[in-house]
Amino acid sequence: MADDDSRAGSRYATRPILDWCAQAHAPHDAALARAFATPDDVPAIMVGPSEGRLLALCCQLVGARKVVEVGTLVGYSTIHMARALAPGGHLWSIEFEARHAAIARDNLAAAGLADRVTVLEGAGLDVLPTLEPHGPFDVVFIDADKVNYERYGTWALANLRPGGLVLGDNAFLFGELLDDSDRGRAMRAFHQLVANHCDSVNIPTPDGLVLGIKRGS
């Protein structure tokens, strides 16, 4: 059910409501709390608790065994998804900043997930082709440099199995989705790419999360 205000864009998700729901559905244990509390010199730009839980549930729903993440930061979303892998599954996560990758590896080890996750350092467009021998993949989650989203999405669609998921965070582009800018054009192209090749929706998380199910038999 919606009302005229919510259809017009009003939101009732106040900070206290969001915090209460996150605590009810996505409470932190020690490992998640550690990864969520970034050092002062690392930007706190990871997904929120509810979004992390949503990523995990998406992985569970498709029985994900092979997952690729573009944009590790310090491993918070990685922990959520790695915990949701089917038995014997593996997650490959790509991080451009060497310091962030090192912190992520420590966080993953503290969470007992070092054997399920490989953190790879480098630019996403350079590293992704090296993962192709491991495919096809069940899930590709994109949360990296926005100007390359269309290119990441193209790789995802080429390397996902039919019925696999492509997920793209920051799909509202911090309110700049419709801007006439390189980032705006790239993000709109990503939306359209996923819509053209998947059964898809933009989930209205705080900054939008594109979800596409790759078509095909």
**Residues 6+ positions from 124 with CB-CB distance below 8 Å:** 70, 71, 94, 96, 144, 145, 148, 152
Residue (of 160, 157, 153) closest to 138 by Cα position = 160
Q: Is the pLDDT of residue 8 over 90?
A: no
At 214 the three-state DSSP class reads: strand
Where along the chain do its domains lie? 12-214
Query: Which residues on neighbouring strands pair with residue 209, listed in sequence order?
Result: 169, 203
Displacement of CA 61 from its chain's centroid (Å): 15
pLDDT of residue 184: 96
| CATH architecture label of 12-214 | 3-Layer(aba) Sandwich (3.40)
Average pLDDT estimate for 82-86:
98
Secondary structure tally for the chain: helices H, strands E? 9, 7
Residue ranges of E strands in 28-144: 66-70, 90-95, 117-121, 137-142
Q: Is the pLDDT of residue 4 over 80?
A: no
Q: Is the pLDDT of residue 12 over 90?
A: no
pLDDT of residue 13: 80
Q: Is the pLDDT of residue 176 over 90?
A: yes
Averaged pLDDT of the chain: 94
Q: In whole angstroms, give the CA distance from residue 105 to residue 83.
A: 15
Of the listed ranges 36-40, 56-60, 82-86, 164-168, the one predicted with least confidence: 36-40
Sheet holding 209-214, edge to edge: 117-121, 90-95, 66-70, 137-142, 160-169, 209-214, 198-203
